[in-house]
Amino acid sequence: MIVYHLSTECYPIAKVGGLADVVGALPKYQNKIKGVEAKVVMPWYNKAFVHDHEFDIVFDGFIHQGGTMLQVVVMKEKTDVLGFELYMVKIPGLLDRDNPYGYQDESFQFLAFQHGALHWLSAMEIRPDVLHCHDYHTGLVPFMIEHCPEFRFLKGVKTIGTIHNGEYQGMMSWGMAHYMPAFDSYKWGLLDWNGFINPLASMIKCSTAFTTVSEGYLEELFISFRGLESLVREEYGKAYGIINGIDTEVWNPETDPMLDYNFSSKNAVEQKKKSKAKLCKEYRLKPELPLFAFIGRFATEKGADLLPDVVWRSIRQSQGALNIMILGSGNRYIEDKLKEYEYLYSNFALDLGYKEYLSHKIYASADFLLMPSRVEPCGLNQMYSMRYGTVPIVRYTGGLKDTVADISTGGAGLNFSYPGVDDVIHAMNRGLNIYHQKGAMEDLIASNMQFDFAWEKSAEKYIALYNK
């Protein structure tokens, strides 16, 4: 079975969040299953990976976007170093950028990616068994292969659409239809949602089946899906929740080259202590105190707007008996507020930016990881932290509720239900109590490290779905 994953992110080439981790790992694990050949197609970016690796040009052609003719070059990484064939689509001016997102003309960029990739496959008569599309950036593919004459060679290919984050749907005005490959215009309804072209809605309507990255999140979409609630209810018959795994080869505390002190469950307690001491020294925190950490995008869906109040209130209420460290960036107001508190409170450290190596060190060093998410389709941070012996404190939502059970119910994490400052602080206080109980942290470290979030099980579930 030949599967092509289409995605705008893939670790380690270009990562903004968990989408990259999933697309960089799932195909690798699928390829370990007999009879499966999984490959990745992504846009070309001006990133270190592409300069450090050799590529073959496998296609050179043209597409038309509106009145503009665009050159499409497809390059394949020579050695399959990532455990799968990697194809990068380059279009000068659109698919040759430094980063996946953040450009004014993103809609053109994503349209060009979908058009360019499908043009290459059709022109070279490559007909996969499954096209697996990730998020709205590739959400028009299921429509395009059925209703754009240019891709008639691909008509009938089965498509899976995975929703990693339903908060982003890629809505465009109908004026953008002019820039799509020509399509059967009487099928316009399959693109439309409330008067806009909505790529995520179109993916749900046109894919053979669609998935969410946890079962919990699928249930939530019925009630809260930024206007697509009725659509997901209507299409429920082809919806599946499949929880993400983690790449246990990359995220292995015994071998992780980004850690200062590697460890297994046997020496985790001592080694974590050393990691924490080093990190605290670097960030002028107090190693003898418990360390609570947050890693992530400063977005309301992550509950990042609660962080400034959580910082000052928890430090004041505990009379300085804890450390907090935050790694992330995003909303300017949140960044500025946190900078102010970093200046005011010596128990608080802030690193504004995206730093892969530092995230690994924090997962290994912290005692607790905070995830006050309002929306969390799956969440990977909690699984990384557990693998690194750090106790997750999570809001009971989406993938977090599927992966982290509260210690009061036999789990190894802490849950709270309302995304508000009081609830976060209450959960942190529960954490502090545990921290000061003799032997309790040691037990939690051991039980967290035992959880098996490896990709194997979920990779099998996707294959079962493809077979179906």
**Among ligand ADP, ligand GLC, none, residue 431 binds (CB under 5-8 Å by kind):** none
Nearer residue to ligand GLC within complex by CB, 165 or 323: 165
Q: What is the CA radius of gyration of the chain?
A: 23
Nearer residue to ligand GLC within complex by CB, 50 or 213: 213
Greatest CA separation for the chain: 71
12: cis peptide before it, omega within 30°?
yes
Q: Which residue has the tokens 């985790």?
A: 268
Residues near ligand GLC (CB under 6 A), total: 14
Of positions 6, 10, 17, 401, contacts ligand ADP by CB under 6 A: 17
Asked whether position 385 contacts ligand GLC by CB under 6 A, the answer is: no
Q: Cα(305)–Cα(298) distance, rounded to whole angstroms?
A: 7
Of positions 379, 389, 392, 431, contacts ligand ADP by CB under 6 A: 379
User: Is 15 within any annotated ligand binding site?
Assistant: yes
Asked whether position 380 contacts ligand ADP by CB under 6 A, the answer is: yes
Asked whether position 327 contacts ligand ADP by CB under 6 A, the answer is: yes
Question: Per CB under 6 A, which region of 17-25, 55-63, 250-258, 277-285 contacts ligand GLC?
Answer: 17-25
Q: How far is CA 373 from the centre of its chain?
A: 14
**Among ligand GLC, ligand ADP, none, residue 461 binds (CB under 5-8 Å by kind):** none
Nearer residue to ligand GLC within complex by CB, 135 or 351: 135
Please list, in sequence order, all residues whose beta carbon lies within 8 angstroms of the beta carbon of residue 45, skipping any fewer than 6 positions away. Answer: 13, 14, 88, 96, 97, 98, 99, 100
Dihedral class, residue 383 (left if φ above 0, else alpha if ψ from -120 to 50, else beta): alpha
Of positions 377, 389, 419, 431, contacts ligand GLC by CB under 6 A: 377
Asked whether position 461 contacts ligand ADP by CB under 6 A, the answer is: no
**Among ligand GLC, ligand ADP, none, residue 356 binds (CB under 5-8 Å by kind):** ligand ADP
Residues 106-135: x/- map of binding to ligand GLC (CB under 6 A)? Answer: ------------------------------
Q: Which residue has the tokens 């499409």?
A: 72
Q: Cα(207)–Cα(139) distance, rounded to whole angstroms?
A: 9
Q: Cα(230)–Cα(233) distance, rounded to whole angstroms?
A: 5
Nearest approach in angstroms of CB 16 to ligand GLC is 8
Of positions 18, 139, 161, 170, contacts ligand ADP by CB under 6 A: 18
Taking CB under 6 A as the criterion, which residues in 297-316 touch ligand ADP?
297
Q: Cα(188)–Cα(141) distance, rounded to whole angstroms?
A: 14
Q: Which residue has the tokens 């409330």?
A: 194
Asked whether position 164 contacts ligand GLC by CB under 6 A, the answer is: yes
**Among ligand GLC, ligand ADP, none, residue 213 binds (CB under 5-8 Å by kind):** ligand GLC
Q: Cα(166)–Cα(135) distance, rounded to whole angstroms?
A: 8
Asked whether position 385 contacts ligand ADP by CB under 6 A, the answer is: no
Question: Per CB under 6 A, which region of 153-161, 286-294, 377-385, 440-448 contacts ligand GLC?
Answer: 377-385
Question: Per CB under 6 A, which region of 47-55, 220-228, 260-268, 378-386 contacts ligand GLC?
Answer: 378-386
Please list, in sequence order, all residues whose beta carbon lies within 8 angstroms of the beta carbon of residue 77, skipping any fewer than 6 positions away. Answer: 53, 54, 55, 85, 86, 87, 88
Between the two ends of the chain, the Cα-to-Cα distance in Å is 12
Q: Cα(224)–Cα(222) distance, rounded to whole angstroms?
A: 6
Asked whether position 5 contacts ligand GLC by CB under 6 A, the answer is: no
Asked whether position 355 contacts ligand ADP by CB under 6 A, the answer is: yes
Choose among 16, 29, 146, 106: nearest CA to 461: 29
Nearest approach in angstroms of CB 58 to ligand GLC is 28
Taking CB under 6 A as the criterion, which residues in 205-244 touch ligand GLC?
213, 244
- Residue 383, φ and ψ in degrees, nearest 5: -75, -40
Give burial (CB, 10 Å; 0-12/13-18/19+) of 329: middle
Binding residues for ADP-alpha-D-glucose: 15
Task: Tell me which residues touch ligand ADP (CB under 6 A).
Answer: 17-19, 21, 295-297, 327-328, 354-356, 359, 378-381
